[in-house]
Copies of this chain bind each other. A is one copy, B any other.
Amino acid sequence: MAGSLDIVGIERLRPLLDRRRVLAAVRDALVWQSQGLVQSPLPGQLQFREPPGDCHIKFGHVAGADTFAVKIATGFYENAARGLPSNHGLVLVFDARTGAPRVLLQDEGWLTAWRTAAATALAAQVLAPATGAIGVVGTGLQASLALEWLPETLGDRPCLVWGRDAGRAVALAAAASRAGRAVVAVASLEELLERSGVVVTATPSSAPLFPAGSVRPGTHLVALGADSPGKQELPTDLFAGAAHVLVDDLAQALDHGDFGAAVRAGSVAAERAVPLGAVLSGRVRLQRARDDISIVDLTGIAAEDIAIAALFCQLLDGPA
């Protein structure tokens, strides 16, 4: 009586991955968000202590869309030691005219990973300096995807990676090389910051990864790790000296992003934040001077989850 729920596993989603279309969908989502077209209350969060973990629930509706989506993602970081994946995720797509559930995308967190990689690549492209390497801090899935996706929007540049665990950084570089991409694991974070024009931080850190003074003038930073209260990657005083500060969503960035930490520390005014989507749409035009430091704080937004879910539902339905 309620219609049937189509259940789609990751094995049906992976062959449909098309980076260009995901980039276009996530760009749309960021633009809609900046235009106030997305109903997306603050995400739900649960925190677990024994073992440590978290659950994020993002949900929303884009004005006029036929569907809405609820995305549930978990991260339990001690799973790896037990040979289990750290992240799980699924997306439920509902009919926005009847409320009936239509599709369960059992993506095991991959849709979130891909839309985050796309948002990172779009954020990197905005205000990226013309030269300098792509430097990625972190060695997890999102770091690995950043190294794959950033060349889509930035073009081919030298790629560097650094992580606290040097072995993992070397392994990540080796895996990239086997896939035909040149990635160098650098010996120190200082070296990465010195050589990179675009720096992506993709860690679960709860404290600044480096002092503000170690960031070279002319660097464009994209921070995507701070997705819950208590996480932080960038030093708050880096924002004081930044020429441009962009966010995917102001409310979320203030609630739990690096930007919010900087606002609470008095390093930057909340009014300084420019919506990434407004820059992507061309509504706001920013100019970078050679020595400007610029920052994009990504918290991950429901609009991206809705857009990538809608894209994959469309791809599942058949050739465009």
Which of A87-95, A129-137, A210-218, A286-294 touches B? A87-95
| Majority-rule SS of A interface residues | strand
State A253–B84 Cα separation when bound (angstroms): 40
Tell me how many residues of A have a C-beta within 8 Å of chain B. 43
Contacts of A43 in B (CB 8 A): 44
Q: How far is the CB of A195 from chain B (nearest CB, A)?
A: 36
Whether, in the assembled complex, A96 has its beta carbon less than 8 Å from a beta carbon of chain B, the answer is: yes
Whether, in the assembled complex, A30 has its beta carbon less than 8 Å from a beta carbon of chain B, the answer is: no
Given known contacts A41-B44, A41-B45, A72-B70, is B94 in contact with A55 (CB within 8 Å)? yes
- Chain B residue nearest in CB terms to A77: B99
Given known contacts A1-B85, A45-B41, A57-B59, is B70 in contact with A94 (CB within 8 Å)? no
- Chain B residue nearest in CB terms to A10: B2
Whether, in the assembled complex, A163 has its beta carbon less than 8 Å from a beta carbon of chain B, the answer is: no
Contacts of A37 in B (CB 8 A): none
Contacts of A74 in B (CB 8 A): 94, 99-100
Which of A14-22, A46-54, A172-180 touches B? A46-54
State A94–B57 Cα separation when bound (angstroms): 13
Q: How far is the CB of A23 from chain B (nearest CB, A)?
A: 26
Query: Which listed residue, B5, B57, B100, touches A44 by the CB 8 Å rule?
Result: B57
State A7–B75 Cα separation when bound (angstroms): 22
State A47–B79 Cα separation when bound (angstroms): 37
State A317–B43 Cα separation when bound (angstroms): 32
Which of A101-109, A149-157, A201-209, A234-242 touches B? A101-109
Chain A 14-44 near chain B by CB (<8 Å), digits 1 or 0: 0000000000000000000000000101011
How many subunits of this chain does the assembly comprise?
Answer: 2
Contacts of A101 in B (CB 8 A): 72, 88, 90, 106
Whether, in the assembled complex, A277 has its beta carbon less than 8 Å from a beta carbon of chain B, the answer is: no
- Chain B residue nearest in CB terms to A108: B2
Query: Which listed residue, B45, B96, B99, touches A79 by the CB 8 Å rule?
Result: B99
Contacts of A220 in B (CB 8 A): none
Whether, in the assembled complex, A60 has its beta carbon less than 8 Å from a beta carbon of chain B, the answer is: yes
- Chain B residue nearest in CB terms to A87: B99
State A55–B59 Cα separation when bound (angstroms): 10
Q: How far is the CB of A310 from chain B (nearest CB, A)?
A: 16
State A61–B99 Cα separation when bound (angstroms): 25
Contacts of A106 in B (CB 8 A): 5, 101
Query: Is B61 a contact of A48 with CB atoms below 8 Å?
Result: yes
Contacts of A100 in B (CB 8 A): 74, 84, 88
State A98–B80 Cα separation when bound (angstroms): 10
Q: How far is the CB of A35 from chain B (nearest CB, A)?
A: 18
Ordered by A's residue number, 16 sampled pairs between the chains whose C-beta atoms are within 8 Å are A2-B88, A41-B46, A43-B44, A44-B59, A44-B70, A46-B60, A46-B61, A48-B68, A55-B68, A55-B94, A70-B72, A74-B100, A75-B99, A88-B101, A101-B106, A104-B104
What are the 3 tightest A-B residue pairs by CB atom distance, in nearest-first order? A74-B99, A76-B99, A2-B108
